[in-house]
């Protein structure tokens, strides 16, 4: 519970910096938790952070705004581990969300995720689920791009997520990639070999639970 609360505060503070500037680090937000339609939220600087989902529905639709105690909050972030092990099969993320936290969808049963243009930052392992087959972006995404079904930063230097459901048995990380996110290949059972270019400078917990890979080529 303490880890979950800390993750919520971190997500709220990251969001607050985007909303009110660096001064937010010196003014921690008052955290208030509530639930609407099975979705858990915390408030921070007139914004709302999604921090969980209790409804065992096949579909999750996150609203762009949520009302609580007569006040309307803009839903601007998804906290770390918010949907860990959740059972929903589809998810709709609104254009209001700017931040998706670390391991936000860790082992959630959702098969595909669409990232709206509003998202500016994605934490390590945000899409680390054995069930995710596809990640999509719109053509107007400013901060991210897809390369052969794999999620990268817009400049191509950071590999964020390799969907576990991609059918390839071999993958060559593009030359010029510098960072491999934590859990980027989490629970991948399809790959048997991965080629890592010399441009890669940083990787930490990137290949957690990648049991089928028999060869890494550097």
The per-residue pLDDT for range 177-208, each reduced to its tens digit, is 999 998 998 888 788 888 899 999 988 766 66
Residue 207: the pLDDT is: 66
Residue 215 DSSP code = E
Q: How confident is the model at residue 26 (pLDDT cuts 50, 70, 90)?
A: very low
> 131-156 pLDDT, tens per residue?
999 999 988 899 999 999 999 999 99
Q: How confident is the model at residue 1 (pLDDT cuts 50, 70, 90)?
A: very low
Give the span between the Cα atoms of 115 and 176, in whole angstroms. 24
Nearest to 78, CA basis, from 109, 121, 46: 121
CA distances from 63 to 43, 192, 205 (A): 15, 40, 33
Average pLDDT of the residues in 74-91: 92
Q: What is the DSSP pairing of strand 71-78 with strand 65-68? A: antiparallel
The answer, yes or no, to whether residue 27 has pLDDT greater than 60, is: no
Lowest mean pLDDT, pick from 103-107, 128-132, 195-199, 206-210: 206-210
Q: How confident is the model at residue 57 (pLDDT cuts 50, 70, 90)?
A: confident
Chain CA centroid to CA 177, Å: 19
Residue 3: the pLDDT is: 45
* ∠ Cα 39 41 99 (to 5°): 105
Residue 14: the pLDDT is: 54
Average pLDDT of the residues in 9-29: 48
Give the span between the Cα atoms of 62 and 114, in whole angstroms. 12
Q: Are 210 and 186 in contact (CB under 8 A)?
A: yes
């Amino acid at each position: 519970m303490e880890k979950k609360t800390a993750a919520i505060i971190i997500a709220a503070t990251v969001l607050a910096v985007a909303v009110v500037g660096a001064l937010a680090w010196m003014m921690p937000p008052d955290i208030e938790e509530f639930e609407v339609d099975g979705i858990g939220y915390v408030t921070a600087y007139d914004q709302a952070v999604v921090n969980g989902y209790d409804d065992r529905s096949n579909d999750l639709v996150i609203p762009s705004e949520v009302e609580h105690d007569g006040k309307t909050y803009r839903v601007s972030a998804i906290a770390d581990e918010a949907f860990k092990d959740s059972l929903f099969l589809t998810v709709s993320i609104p254009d209001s969300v700017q931040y998706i936290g670390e391991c936000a969808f860790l082992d959630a049963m959702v098969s595909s995720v669409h990232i709206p243009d509003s998202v500016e930052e994605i934490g390590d392992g945000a899409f680390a689920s054995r069930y995710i087959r596809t990640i999509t972006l719109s053509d107007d995404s400013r901060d991210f791009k897809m390369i052969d079904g794999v999620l990268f930063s817009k400049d191509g230097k950071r590999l964020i997520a390799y969907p576990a459901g991609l059918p390839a048995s071999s993958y060559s990380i593009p030359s010029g990639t510098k960072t491999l996110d934590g859990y980027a290949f989490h629970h991948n059972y399809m790959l048997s070999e991965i080629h890592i270019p010399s441009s890669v400078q940083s990787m930490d917990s990137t290949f957690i639970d990648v049991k089928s890979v028999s060869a890494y080529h550097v």
